[in-house]
Amino acid sequence: QDGWAAVNALTTNYAAKFNQKFPAAMPTSYCGYPKDTVVNNVRYYSFSGDQTMTTLVDPSDAVLGLTGLSFNGEANDGLVSPCSSRLGAVIRDNYKMNHMDSVNQVFGIVSLLDTNPLTVYRNQVNRLKGQSL
């Protein structure tokens, strides 16, 4: 395990190089929507949130509130902007979730004012099942 390589893989420069190397289902411009959502018989989907602070009792919200300041007012989930999250068919990019909420962390504490992330994943499983995937 290389912790520094893992952190480096999350940088804007690394992501840009990765996206150039693997452009499948990517938009052609920042904040655009992808033209192709199926590439080489692979269906691509994405969803994201646009809030950093979603509940006062989640300890990760304070950290994501701080990291979100680096976006200079652009909507973000504390680590990624909705514009940067668009890959393939965009299910939705404005859930009231931060980055940790979208993976149902910490301890499953999420906003009570929007869709629960478990529901988002359940809906995706049903979407794929409906497509016989």
pLDDT in tens, 70-127: 999 999 999 999 999 999 999 999 999 999 999 998 888 999 889 999 999 999 999 9
* Each residue's pLDDT tens digit, 26-48: 999 999 999 999 999 999 999 99
Question: What are the tokens at 121?
Answer: 């994943």
- pTM value is 0.88
Question: What are the tokens at 49?
Answer: 């949130």
Question: How many domains does the chain contain in total?
Answer: 1
Name the residue type at position 113.
L
The per-residue pLDDT for 40 is 95
Q: What's the mean per-residue pLDDT of the chain?
A: 94
The per-residue pLDDT for 57 is 92
Question: What are the tokens at 42?
Answer: 């692979």
Range of the domain at 124: 3-131
The per-residue pLDDT for 27 is 95
Question: What are the tokens at 94?
Answer: 């404005």
What is the rounded distance in angstroms from the CA atom of residue 87 to the CA atom of residue 33?
8
Q: What residues contact residue 23 under an 8 Å CB cut-off, 6+ apart? A: none
**CATH number, domain containing residue 44:** 3.40.50.1820
Give the ranges where the chain is alpha helix by DSSP (H). 3-8, 12-21, 59-68, 82-85, 117-130
The per-residue pLDDT for 107 is 87
